[in-house]
Copies of this chain bind each other. A is one copy, B any other.
Amino acid sequence: MATAPAPVETTAPHPEASPASSPGSLFQLLRDGRPRTRAELVSASGLARSTVASRLEDLLGVGLVVPTGEASSSGGRPAVTFVFDPSRRVVVSVDLGVSHAHVAITDLANSVLAEDLQDLDIADGPEPVLDLVTRTTLALLEEAGRSLDDVAGTGIGLPGPVEFSTGRPVSPPVMPGWDRFDVPGHLARTLPGPVLVDNDVNIMALGEHAERYRDLSDLVFVKVASGIGAGIISGGTLQRGAQGAAGDLGHVAVPDGNQTLCTCGNHGCLEAVASGAAVARRLREGGAEVHDQADVVALVRAGDTTASQAVRDAGRDIGSVLAGVVSLLNPSVIVLGGRISAVGEQLLAGIRESVYRRSLPLGTHHLRIVSSVSGARAGIVGASVLVTDTLLAPAGVDAAVAARG
């Protein structure tokens, strides 16, 4: 018998906490929505027939899986098939902006069942805003013919930095009164299931990726509105960084940009020179009647050349910073969203000009720089993805089975 070698440390990720024979692990085989027979599940999982039968009972019990039609058979008794049923439970999906609340009821496949978009002022503070979200949720559930009992969880995007592990905003500059507020704790008074909170740009990146770029592993979503931020998907995974602060594009210095003072105290940050608010300010300083980014969009649409030029200049500055992002992350696609992207062509032209001028050929050869196609949907779909990616993962399904007892 050999002597035991010393324990080995490796860089392997820890094995999935859920054992291979758990209901959650078996469920992954069904997650693509294709019906499968017991025999197919036994073959694909390598588990014993009795184990598969027992785990299927668990999944049927929590309603994630339903028996369905009969598989074509080469004779004898037709085999029953089983399929993921995304309609059994729903998700409350919320995208909160500085001045809007987009609330939706989605199913476990992230399809929207009912939705509502209304104005609000995030500066009203967390309790009034979250209570509005709750009231809207209850109305939408009724509209969709569902009840609170159907709610599996809530996903919510906020317009500021969020500590993802606790769901608390961290010194959000445009959200007075929200710093360190316990968003999950407040919503959980009414809404059952986990409450996951993230930065609004991160959920937009998740939504755009899920809706249109599922086959791509490297996507950067850039939101240009009153502020500027990015959601980064690398290697197929949303990257939040060590403290959840990743994607803070707005405070990257613009190479050779003007040295405007930023709200953060530094000079020349991208947000200070190229956000919707910055463009509006510049036009105002030039004598135009411009109050905010909505006025900028209106002027560009009306054919105002000064405004168009200002937006294009902003695009060039954004592109200068994105050229660095391209060198660092080598994404397949950069998606532009946010309110100012309503005048996307001018902005895109400026961005493309800078990115292609500054980046090396290997990084830009296959790069697409495009406007968001999901638009306002990106936020709510992403909020839904945030929840379903957790609930439908092996550990999430196992927890649901355990909770049912």
Contacts and interface: CB of A to CB of B under 8 A. Distances in A.
A19 interface: yes
Interface stretch (A244-252, A342-350, A370-378): A244-252
B32 A7 contact: yes
A355 to B, nearest CB: 12
A221 interface: no
A6 B66 CA distance: 12
Contact of A248 (B22, B81, B170, B360): B360
A327 B2 contact: no
Interface string A26-44: 0011011111000000001
A244 B21 CA distance: 36
A66 B1 CA distance: 8
Q: Binding site of A, secondary structure by majority: helix, strand, loop or mixed? A: loop
Contacts of A357: 266
A75 interface: no
A121 interface: no
A394 to B, nearest CB: 10
Nearest to A34: B7
Contacts of A241: 218, 234, 329-331, 363
Nearest to A241: B330
A389 interface: yes
Contact of A210 (B11, B248, B268): B11
Given A1-B67, A67-B1, A255-B254, A242 B327 contact: no
A219 to B, nearest CB: 9
Contact of A109 (B10, B47, B235): B10
A253 B252 contact: no
A159 to B, nearest CB: 15
Interface stretch (A94-102, A147-155, A285-293, A317-325): A317-325
Interface stretch (A83-91, A129-137, A184-192, A295-303): A83-91
A249 B328 contact: yes
A404 to B, nearest CB: 19
Contact of A7 (B9, B33, B230, B237): B33
Contacts of A28: 12, 15
Interface in A197-249: 206, 209-210, 214, 216-218, 230, 232, 234-237, 239-249
A328 B10 contact: no
A357 B239 CA distance: 24
A218 B246 CA distance: 10
A4 B68 contact: yes
Contact of A19 (B46, B161, B214, B244): B46
A265 to B, nearest CB: 9
Given A216-B242, A328-B246, A5 B234 contact: no
B243 A255 contact: no
A22 B45 CA distance: 9
A-B interface, 4 closest residue pairs, ranked by CB to CB distance from nearest? A241-B330, A21-B46, A20-B20, A8-B33
15 contacts: A1-B69, A2-B66, A7-B34, A9-B109, A10-B31, A10-B110, A15-B28, A15-B29, A21-B45, A241-B329, A242-B332, A243-B366, A251-B327, A253-B324, A328-B328
Given A3-B69, A9-B32, A325-B328, 19 more contacts: A3-B68, A4-B81, A5-B66, A8-B84, A9-B33, A10-B31, A11-B389, A12-B393, A22-B46, A47-B47, A217-B242, A218-B242, A237-B237, A240-B330, A244-B330, A245-B362, A248-B327, A248-B363, A255-B256
